[in-house]
Structure 1
Amino acid sequence: MEEKKQTAVFVPRKKEWLLVLLSTIAAYIYVSSIFQFPGEQSNFWIFNYWQWSDVMTIFVVFFLAAGASCAYINKIKIEKEHMIFMAFTVAGGFWFLIFRKNVDQDITGYLVLFLHLTAVYWLVSLGGKRLYNCLNECCILDLLKGLFCFPAMHGYRLILACCNGAACLVNKSKRNQQQMKQALLGILFSIPLFLIVICLLVTADHTFWQFCNNISSLAQPNSLTIIQLIMTGIVALYLFGLFYGCFYVASQGKTKKLTVAPSVASGFMILFLLVYTLFFVVKLGSIPASLRQIEEGTLLTSTYARNGFFQLCWIASINFVIFTGIKWYAAERKKSLTVQLSILGFQTLGFIILAFSRMQFYIVNYGLTFKRVFTTWFMGVLFITFLLMILSLMKKFNAVRLSVYLACTSFLILAYSNIPAWVYS
């Protein structure tokens, strides 16, 4: 009789309980910050006299400390790339501490997103759970794995770990642990029907309705705290699943790379190349007429600058997915396919230049705002990224890695430059 293969590493209970504790504390810190508005103080117990920006910095520090602790416990060697993403996360976290008095600026939301992405990718890379164990064209898939797959697949284990802990307090027998899990599962399944029964009982008897109303009135002053506790539990499940998936799930070994035939890749691109060429022929012929209309006053500068700008940015982003996908998954890169990729790259550079010229046209006439600065930064990063990817076709190097480093570093420079000070002055 064949033995079943173990799909996950065995996790001692003490490590599970430590992970429960770390996840719960991190969730509590996170929720106590996100329930506040910029510039306001927290009202969630320990952080009563802290601003939400300070609490966000504390969360980042605690998150990094928890990840480093898990790596140390599991004897994971910290490499240079792990340190780089840790540095990006630290820089993003301390931005809230430095700009606490002006944390309601427009870039704050983007910085929170940046923090989530860099922190999760750092954890996935530290746990060795990337598809090819390096930063390459599959980095988006690695990021999605950490953001959604691990929490969804392993978050429930926090409840099981709590049940094991409760059962061990009562009795160390496996039977009691199993009964505890089964009882909890029964309670979870009963909740929908239980709510229906409560509604029926409330409508069936006025006295019972009055009793329930009195209970709800007692709970009303603490309704925000109750919501915060519920959110803390949800975030704890998410963080536990993320940490568990990164550090306590066995790797599947070397991932077999999916490939497509060069002829399929070439055929996929051909229609895009033809329509882009046609677009540039038509567009270059229409520019003089548009400039003439602006001089005559029949075409507004703002209308010309905005017309098609976002569509061009979206096309450039789509081309990035096409370029990286074909470059990575093509089974063999023949000379014809390399030429097609180069043409696609140069056409994308043309789209970015067109969009950039429209944005500069708008800035010259109407001045700077945060959105215009941020959009200009995005187009600049995208332009350099495509330039690097075109060069990588001629000389082999990891263009995606350099592009990610460039994007993260330049974003942090933009954030630390205190945009309101020089844009709105």
Structure 2
Amino acid sequence: MDNFVNDSTKTAQDIDVPRLYGNPFVPSAAEKIAVIFSYPLAYLYTYILIPPVNRDNWYPVTAAFIILFCALSEIFYHRRKATAESYAWLGCIAVILVSMLAGLNRVWGDSLAVFFIHGYAVYWILNRSGRLIEGRSGPFTPVDMMNGFIVFPFKNFFLRIKVLWSALKSRERKNGEKTSRAGTVAAIAGGLILLYIAGALLAAADDTFDRLVGDILRLLDIDFLKTFIPRFLLSLPVGAYLYGLVIGTNREDVHELEERGGITLNRLETLKKVPAKAWMVILGGFSLLYLLFFVIQGSYLFGAFTRTLPEGFTVAQYARQGFFELCQIMGINFLLFWLVMKSSNIDIRSNRFAMIMCSVLLAESLLFSVTAFSKLMLYISCFGFTPRRLQSTWLICVLFAGTALALYSLWTRKRTFRIWIYISGISLALMHLY
């Protein structure tokens, strides 16, 4: 109760507020400076969200934003040693930027390129700030991406306001009336702008009112404000999000993130209650199903290897039919393999028969991927490359690499998920150069 004792020497402005929630909020100098840069950066981003009617400058604006975003983020985190992985993802960003400015990127197109570069930028921030759950890419990558896109930015969505308010209050205590006058001028300027907008809206809503004040409003009409004000208002939440992403991420406790990862792993351990024999029966059923499919459709599936087509099929029909179904089958096999590894009540690697059954499943997945790839190559050899065919080629190669690495990890106990992320992410970026 000592905090509530009255001190007659203090004015109403100086009365201490009792601290009920821990230490007071004290932003760093870098956080205060970042507030200044966040406003123009967010305003620039509005031209990516809502490009002008003429979209010719969309790529240059996107490139300018990404360059400024990465440069300012690097300055903010310059005291933290960058990892080799962060340079890899920064290189991917650079590759996509080059493809944009050089007029390449025929594979993914404009919208996907901008979408992908957002993903790389967010993931690079997580790497650069050291806020990945495991400290590097790994099985927690999907959770890391959710943290980067959703959790960290929105958790710190109001951080910029807090920093700005703290900086203004600190300056007011130092400079007294000067800051108050500056605030008054800012308030008057903002009020006049809002008054003009309100008058223009009322004039548009009523002809009589327009005849009375319309001429005056038209004298003050500034075309620049018609685009600036809506974009500025849009930039406010955008800036809060970006500030929460870059600056707020730095406030996340690394040890707490590691503890969350450990808790998640412990919870996964509690799921290991399914008898291994049950999984062996299920794996056996899948293996027999695929074997039966290979036997029945063998000549159809493997025709691409001998460049012979089934009777009544054109090359286009042969290549397209079943391609994406085979890719989906591989996805199902990945899910099944993960469930077996995470829910079996014994360590699969300590059971020889279980290892063989999992290996058979993965080997059949490899065969599916090779078959799909051969069909696609036959199609490309006849009709040439197109963006969609290159996308399909990338997809099947990534699935093949993931299956091969899973099989390698199964027998060696080495963690290969990180390698698969590198292969997938870097190859995805390089595809933009076509």
Equivalent of residue 398 in structure 1, options 415, 423, 428: 415
Q: Structure 2: how far apart are the matches of 1:122 and 1:389?
A: 25
Letter in 1 for 2:394: W
Deviations for 1:355-404, whole angstroms, at most 9, x for unmatched residues?
Answer: 32332343344332111012112211220221012111222333122122
Higher alpha-carbon Rg: 2
2:248 matches 1:233: no
Match of 2:274 among 257, 264, 275: 264
Please show how residues 89-238 of structure 1 align to structure 2 within 5 Å.
Answer: 89-97=93-101, 99=102, 101-102=103-104, 106-168=108-170, 207=208, 223-238=226-241
Give the counterpart of 1:57 among 59, 63, 67: 63
Q: Deviations over 1:6-34 (max 9, x none)?
A: 6x995525333223223333323333355
**Secondary structure of 2:45 counterpart:** helix
Give the match's secondary structure for 2:40.
helix
CA separation of 1:408 and 1:296: change in aligned 2, threshold 3 A: closer
Of 65, 68, 71 in structure 1, the residue corresponding to residue 74 of structure 2 is: 68
Equivalent residue number for residue 317 of structure 1? 331
Deviations 1:286-322 (A, max 9, x none): 344787x96543x444334323322322332344355
Give how far 1:343 is off: 3.2
1:383 to 370, 382, 400: 400
SS in structure 2 opposite 1:155? coil
**Percent identity over the alignment?**
23
| Conservation of the 8 A alpha-carbon contact between 1:259 and 1:331 | no
Task: Please state how far the C-alpha of 1:243 moved relative to its aligned partner.
Answer: 1.5
Q: Pick 1 or 2: higher relative contact order, CA cutoff 8 A, min separation 6.
A: 2
Matched residue, 2:252: 249
Cα shift readout 1:316-345 (whole Å, capped 9, x = no counterpart): 234435545664687862325544443332
Other-structure match for 2:359: 342
* 333-342 vs 385-394, which moves further: 333-342
Q: TM-score, normalised by structure 1?
A: 0.72
Q: Distance in 2 between matches of 1:364 and 1:38?
A: 40
Question: Between Structure 1 and Structure 2, how many residues are aligned?
Answer: 380
1:155-177 per-residue CA deviation (whole Å, 9 max, x = no partner) reads 1222333344455565679xx99
Root-mean-square deviation (Å): 4.4
Which consecutive residues of structure 1, in runs of 5 or more, have no partner in the other structure?
43-51, 181-197, 420-425
For the pair 1:413 / 2:430, whether they are aligned, the reply is yes
Q: In the alignment, residue 60 of structure 1 is paired with which amino acid?
A: I
Q: Mark the CA change 1:103 to 1:385 in structure 2 (over 3 Å): closer, same or farther.
A: closer
Query: 8, 30, 39: which is aligned to 2:45?
Result: 30
The superposition leaves residues 237-265 of structure 1 with CA deviations (integer Å, 9 ceiling, x where unpaired) of 22111113320122315333232354528
| TM-score of the superposed pair, with normalisation by structure 2 | 0.71
Give the aligned residue type for 2:237.
I
C-alpha separation in 2, matches of 1:269 and 1:376: 33
Residue in 2 aligned with 1:282? 293
